[in-house]
């Protein structure tokens, strides 16, 4: 085992943590006092910038609340804080992250119902409409924008329209889409959006953040089931003295300032979406030319992460495939679907079409060397 970093990092074709720019990494070569005004100014700037990236503002009643921990902590914080004691959540699930949301509700002993579709099938807005009509106890609806398990895109605009028409609050796990795909919060009718630093915003892991309507948040007084995951408490901490309530991931926040500057320099969300779409198109063209088959129908496939079937050759093993690509400097991702043998390739992070071409070339050489029939 080599405990020290190699001279060159391998490229990560994963859904986060992902490859970051050299300058994002360099931004971490500083120690910052979490109570110091210069650091707090940066936290304030990050909060405002997140709203700007989302196309909303404080004046319009929106707040951005960073929270220590990975993305899961952000989703759990919304449930723990914003669902009233007698509340009930309808979860739309077609993969591991929807199921994880269900697990959070089980742990928090929050009443819930689950509307499942198969892993290759988007959430069903009509089924949601029927559930909301039938069950007056449901107070919140939770959906996953891109279910990273497969890479499928769920119809959050249609789900949001149903949720708003039925007068419920809408929680969106946009972990793997925010910053990489446009999301019109007002039009979709989002009340709480959760994402994290180390996905399409191309920062390093360390914190999650929630974008929410201030009026919704303020109405949650007294409901928090957790101290450290109390979103309203976290917001009050920022409002009081500009600080995280407990030790923040200072280096990750410094890196995030640079990551947000780079998003702006790239041309904002539309330009980043364009690069991710070119990455995905390059990957798909190369892989299908080699004979690999994508798992999802193109109509529901996100440009962020793509699942491919294993080659039909019985001699294929993912472990050998993964190792060979790693030796060539490329890290891919195992599958996560229960119903099919798949591997996944992410096209987000500081990677470009030329990197995807290099990956496809490495896959081709590996397949040839192993003599696998694809
Ligand atoms: C990454 C991700 C999460 C959060 O995962 P963490 O490992 O806790 O950061 C949640 N939902 C989706 C859709 C994701 O892609």
Confidence (pLDDT) at 337: 78
Q: What is the mean pLDDT of residues 14-40?
A: 95
Atom of ligand 1 nearest to the CA of 75: 10
* Ligand 1 pocket mutation, candidates 98, 175, 249, 347, criterion most atoms within 8 A of CB: 175
What domains are defined for the chain? Answer: 11-17+267-370 (3.90.1150.10), 22-264 (3.40.640.10)
Confidence (pLDDT) at 266: 98
Please give the distance, rounded to the nearest whole angstrom, from the Cα atom of residue 143 to the centre of ligand 1. 13
Confidence (pLDDT) at 243: 96
Token pair recorded at residue 52: 């700007």
Please give the distance, rounded to the nearest whole angstrom, from the Cα atom of residue 325 to the centre of ligand 1. 24
Q: Answer whether 0.95 is exceeded by the pTM.
A: yes
Atom of ligand 1 nearest to the CA of 196: 9
Atom of ligand 1 nearest to the CA of 208: 9
Please give the distance, rounded to the nearest whole angstrom, from the Cα atom of residue 38 to the centre of ligand 1. 30
Kindly report the number of other CB atoms within 10 A of residue 282's CB atom: 19
Q: Are the C-beta atoms of 39 and 221 separated by less than 8 Å?
A: no
Confidence (pLDDT) at 340: 83
Confidence (pLDDT) at 3: 80
Cis peptide before 17 (omega within 30 of 0): yes
Atom of ligand 1 nearest to the CA of 95: 13
Instruction: Please give the mean pLDDT across all residues of the chain.
Output: 97
Please give the distance, rounded to the nearest whole angstrom, from the Cα atom of residue 52 to the centre of ligand 1. 22
Pick 335 or 365 by higher pLDDT: 365
Please give the distance, rounded to the nearest whole angstrom, from the Cα atom of residue 102 to the centre of ligand 1. 14
Does 157 have pLDDT greater than 80?
Answer: yes
For ligand 1, which residues put their CB under 6 angstroms from it? 15-16, 70-72, 97, 144, 148, 173, 175-176, 196
Confidence (pLDDT) at 5: 73
Atom of ligand 1 nearest to the CA of 199: 1
Q: What is the mean pLDDT of residues 201-213?
A: 98
pLDDT confidence band for 211 (50 / 70 / 90): very high
Question: How far apart (Å, rounded) are the C-alpha atoms in residues 230 and 174?
Answer: 20
> For residue 67, what are the β-bridge partners?
208
Pick 8 or 96 by higher pLDDT: 96
> For residue 91, what are the β-bridge partners?
114, 142
Number of Cα atoms under 13 Å in the Cβ half of residue 95: 24
Confidence (pLDDT) at 326: 97
Please give the distance, rounded to the nearest whole angstrom, from the Cα atom of residue 41 to the centre of ligand 1. 28
Pick 15 or 230 by higher pLDDT: 230
* Ligand 1 pocket mutation, candidates 97, 179, 210, 249, criterion most atoms within 8 A of CB: 97
pLDDT confidence band for 8 (50 / 70 / 90): confident
User: How far, rounded to the nearest angstrom, does the alpha carbon of residue 362 sit from its chain's CA centroid?
Assistant: 27
pLDDT confidence band for 16 (50 / 70 / 90): confident
Does 9 have pLDDT greater than 90?
Answer: yes
Sign of CA dihedral 361, 362, 368, 373: negative
Please give the distance, rounded to the nearest whole angstrom, from the Cα atom of residue 366 to the centre of ligand 1. 30
Please give the distance, rounded to the nearest whole angstrom, from the Cα atom of residue 148 to the centre of ligand 1. 8
């Amino acid at each position: 085992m080599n405990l020290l970093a190699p001279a060159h990092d391998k490229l990560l074709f994963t859904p986060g943590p992902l490859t970051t720019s050299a300058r994002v990494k360099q931004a971490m070569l500083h120690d910052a006092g979490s109570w110091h005004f210069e650091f707090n100014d940066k936290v304030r700037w990050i909060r405002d910038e997140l709203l700007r990236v989302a196309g909303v503002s404080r004046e319009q009643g929106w707040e951005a609340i960073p929270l220590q921990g990975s993305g899961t902590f952000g989703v759990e914080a919304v449930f723990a804080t914003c669902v009233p004691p007698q509340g009930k959540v309808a979860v739309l699930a077609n993969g591991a992250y929807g199921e994880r949301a269900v697990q959070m509700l089980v742990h928090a002993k929050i009443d819930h119902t689950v509307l499942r579709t198969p892993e290759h099938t988007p959430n069903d807005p009509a089924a949601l409409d029927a559930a909301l009509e039938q069950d007056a106890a449901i107070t919140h609806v939770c959906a996953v924008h891109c279910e990273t398990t497969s890479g499928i895109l769920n119809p959050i605009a249609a789900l949001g329209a149903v949720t708003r028409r039925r007068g419920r609050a809408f929680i969106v796990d946009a972990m793997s889409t925010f910053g990489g795909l446009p999301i019109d919060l007002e039009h979709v009718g989002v009340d709480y959006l959760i994402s994290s630093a180390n996905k399409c915003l191309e920062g390093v892991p360390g914190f999650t953040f929630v974008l929410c309507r201030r009026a919704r948040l303020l109405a949650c007084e007294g409901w928090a089931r957790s101290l450290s995951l109390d979103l309203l408490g976290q917001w009050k901490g920022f409002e009081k003295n500009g600080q995280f309530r407990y030790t923040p991931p200072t280096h990750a926040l410094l890196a995030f300032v640079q990551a947000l500057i780079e998003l702006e320099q790239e041309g904002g969300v539309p330009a980043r979406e364009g690069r991710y779409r070119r990455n995905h198109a390059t990957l798909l063209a190369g892989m299908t030319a080699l004979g690999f088959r994508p798992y999802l129908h193109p109509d529901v496939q996100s440009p962020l992460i793509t699942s491919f079937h294993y080659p039909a050759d019985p001699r294929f093993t993912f472990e050998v495939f993964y190792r060979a690509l790693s030796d060539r400097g490329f890290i891919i991702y195992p599958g996560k679907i229960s119903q099919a043998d798949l591997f996944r390739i992410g096209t987000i992070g500081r990677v470009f079409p030329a990197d995807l071409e290099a990956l496809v070339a490495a896959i081709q050489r590996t397949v040839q060397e192993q003599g696998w029939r694809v």
